[in-house]
Structure 1
């Protein structure tokens, strides 16, 4: 059985990571009724009690004792990490996995990438190596971060380059939370564009998640739940709702949104953790879905996000009606896992590598240009040692080149394929 290490960077990355570990434990507790430490658990957890290597791992209240998460937690503000260390997940981590500071990156990519990246380089590498040494067969690093803030975008992409440098043969899958147009961080377009260049150069796959999309999804589900109509009560264990976060109860403001991202990662890895009629190796994602190395931005789609408490949804069948380019007619990879997410009878995750992401990138470039044209807030970046104005122009050039590559592929669509829906689900 292979193992993966989750690297959480910044406030957003650690908040999503917290939901991931909580839901992962609940998922394994639901399947592993006897609490045995098995190969499925070993994919994301290690047993630190040598007396229990082949015996019981002891689930307690949905938790499992004697386990440590295969994770590295990094943040230049200690608030979120401290919350984790004082919360119900506190026994899942120890000091060798944590790296924090107190001042933060001031929403400045340069501070995160250059100042903290240089100051903490050796400590970050040491913690990554220790996490890797605990793995018998390390297959993948999952990096979780946001694009708008300073630590997530700056230090997050620095960690990504260190992963490539130290573990060049290990797959790097990045989940990036992109800021909305109304983001309250005025410099988020700068941070995002500077981070984009690093993602394009150093990641194997990037799963872009728009913050505004998460907001819209949660609002829509909450509207359904609050409508009071018969048959609109959402089952408590649905993907958006968990035991401690969600739309009702003592949840935190972003728990429901973070649960969606956490469930996305759980779905990606379910076939690698549990038995199924058609298992899929994580390395196959990049092998099958990334024909051009720079165009590795995969659009994730997940359904269902919730299940109504008094409605039984019939089994679905996927009708393969995707149009493919002439030179890649077999660009379709399927994995079938026998274990659905907790609270659901079934689940479908689709990762699509197509040109629709260029719209998001073009909007991001437009927001960047509005700031950069006036040189607004630029001095905050240029005061950081090692930061030059050329970093901005090079990052903008990299993004424009990426958009152009997508546009060139778009131009061939009319010659090779008709317009058609990407997915059609039939009952």
Structure 2
């Protein structure tokens, strides 16, 4: 059995990560009624004790499986969020030796996170990563969760990414990056995001970009579709998400991202008739090393009340996965070019359902001419709690250029005036050339995607019929 380690960096990274662990524990408790430590649990949890102090075996208490420690490393240069987690119901799930905090934060400055804290805490971070890896029998993947707009998530998060590449070059690095909206209240977020983009392009195996504005739009859409409100046991809300206190405005948004991770890791955590190895994501969806940004979409986005869902609604789930309303970035993939696509399905869905829906949707989805069969599929038999089935689609699609171009435009407006630049240049090791090189890297990435998108007009109408990769 393979294992994976989740690395949470910065405020958003730790809040999303906490939601992921809460949802994962609820899923395992729902399936593993006796609370016995098994292979499914070992993929993301380790067992620190086989028996309780009172002599009983590990069991389920209050809906949570005990005697487990998350395979996680939590890093933040402000201690507030991590301390809040340690005061909540998930406090026993995290090993205190796997936490790293400071008190002053990065001041929304990529250079402080990347240069200052990256250098000061390098050895401690490497030690914690090695210790987490030593607890794995067969380490398969690192999942890095961070945001792009602030200082710690963007700066220290991408510095940590390079450390992963240096220390564990053979282990897959999948990054979930939360991109700021145009109305972000951090004035320097375009700088931080573009500087971080260069590191993601160079050092990640796969990046799942998620936009704050898209998440907010989806939450509002769900509320509108559910007159009685969002249910507490739904995909979007998971109780208190492992954090004590009342629900906060970003909790529902964080839960959507956590559910993205939950669906992506389901094949590693549970059995299925067509399980997808995590390494296969990069192997099948990334035809060129730098073009590894995968657009995620989730469906359904709210808990369905019925258990036996008719075929008509099952087919609608597949259609929704390719609708712009279900993308976690604000883009319409149908109007751009697909390089590859993965469909990761959970619940009572058959291979024949997959084949039927792919064949049904294929004519409306423009695929690059040399990869007409560029589909990867996975079936996990265990659905999310409260659902009968769900679908995560990961598309390597040229529509990501819209997000990148918007980010570049916001960066250029600031950089042209040299606004706030001095805050970065005062940091030891930071040079102005970093800005121009990061902008050039982003422009080059946009150009590479755009050149492929231009081939869409030359696609052959009668392409070979699709076969599903198994």
Shorter-chain-normalised TM-score: which range? over 0.9
* Structure 1 match to 2:292: 296
Do structure 1's residue 325 and structure 2's residue 326 form an aligned pair? no
> Aligned partners of 2:246 and 2:101: how far apart in 1?
27
Cα displacement string for residues 307-341 of structure 1 (whole angstroms, at most 9, x for unaligned residues): 24469642424421144222212210000010000
Preserved contact between residue 271 and residue 336 of structure 1 (Cα < 8 Å): yes
Distance 1:99 1:245, change over 3 A: closer
The residue number in structure 1 matching 2:16 is 16
1:224-245 Cα shifts (integer Å, max 9, x gaps): 33x4xxxx55443210122225
Tell me the SS of whatever aligns to 2:380. coil
Residue of structure 2 in register with 1:424 after alignment: none
Aligned position for 2:429: 386
Superposition pairs of residues 22-421 of structure 1, within 5 angstroms: 22-51=22-51, 56-225=57-226, 227=227, 232=228, 234-245=230-241, 250-309=246-305, 313-315=309-311, 316=314, 317-318=353-354, 319-320=357-358, 321=362, 322-416=365-459
Give the distance between the partners of 2:308 and 2:236, measured in 1 at CA.
18
Instruction: Work out the CA distance in 1 between the residues paired with 2:86 and 2:124.
Output: 20
Please give the secondary structure, in 1, of the residue aligned with 2:6: strand
Q: Could you tell me whether the CA contact under 8 Å between 1:9 and 1:151 is conserved in 2?
A: yes
**How far apart, in 2, do the equivalents of 1:160 and 1:245 lie?**
26
SS of 2:265's partner is helix
**Structure 1 CA distance for aligned equivalents of residues 151 and 187 of structure 2:** 12
Say whether the 8 Å CA contact 2:180–2:212 is kept in structure 1.
yes
Say which is worse superposed, 171-180 or 88-97, in terms of deviation: 88-97
Structure 1 range deviating more: 27-36 or 308-317: 308-317
Cα deviation, residue 162, structure 1: 0.2
The worse-fitting range, judged by mean Cα deviation, of 213-222 and 236-245 is 236-245
Determine if contact 2:307/2:388 at 8 Å carries over to the other structure. no
What is the rounded CA distance, in whole Å, between the counterparts of 1:147 and 1:419 in structure 2?
41
1:425 maps to which residue? none
CA contact (8 A) 1:239 1:343 kept: yes
Alignment root-mean-square deviation, CA? 1.9
Are the equivalent residues in 1 in contact too, given 2:144–2:173 (CA < 8 A)? yes
Q: Deviations over 1:141-181 (max 9, x none)?
A: 00000000000000000000000000000000000000000
Residue 38 of structure 1, CA deviation: 0.3
Shift of 1:66: 1.0
Unaligned runs of 5+ in 1: 421-427
* Residues 274/56 of structure 1: CA separation in 2 closer, same or farther (3 Å cut): farther
State the Cα deviation string for residues 23-67 of structure 1 (Å, max 9, x = none): 100010011011110000000000001448xx9431111212111
**Is the Cα–Cα contact under 8 Å of residues 75 and 101 in structure 2 kept in the other structure?**
yes
Following TM superposition, by how much is the alpha carbon of 1:417 offset from its aligned partner in structure 2, in angstroms?
A: 5.0
- How many residues matched? 411
User: Structure 1 residue 6 and structure 2 residue 6: aligned?
Assistant: yes
Distance 2:10 2:283 in 1: 29
Give the SS at the match of 2:296.
Answer: strand
Distance 2:269 2:307 in 1: 29
User: Partners in 1 of 2:409 and 2:156 — Cα distance?
Assistant: 24
